[in-house]
């Protein structure tokens, strides 16, 4: 069974994981700032 070029499933998964990690880190920083009363 011949198919076209394979879609980079692994690359998409890695980018999604990377994005979620960055989002979690920024969320943690924001939550820390809010709990300390720095952000209004």
Domain assignment present for residue 1? The answer is no
Domain assignment present for residue 22? The answer is yes
Domain assignment present for residue 39? The answer is no
Please tell me the distance from the alpha carbon of residue 29 to that of residue 38, in angstroms, as a whole number. 11
Domain assignment present for residue 3? The answer is no
Domain assignment present for residue 26? The answer is yes
pLDDT number for residue 28 = 95
Contact 32, 23 (CB under 8 A): no
User: How confident is the model over 1-40, as pLDDT tens digits?
Assistant: 455 566 678 888 999 999 999 999 999 999 998 898 875 5
Domain total for the chain? 1
What tokens were used for 21?
């990690």
pLDDT number for residue 2 = 54
pLDDT number for residue 23 = 98
pLDDT number for residue 7 = 66
Please tell me the distance from the alpha carbon of residue 18 to that of residue 8, in angstroms, as a whole number. 15
Range of the domain at 23: 10-34
Domain assignment present for residue 15? The answer is yes
pLDDT number for residue 3 = 59
């Amino acid at each position: 069974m011949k198919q076209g070029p394979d879609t980079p499933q692994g690359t998409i998964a890695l980018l999604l994981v990377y994005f979620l990690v960055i989002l979690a880190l920024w969320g943690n920083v924001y939550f820390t700032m809010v709990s300390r009363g720095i952000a209004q």
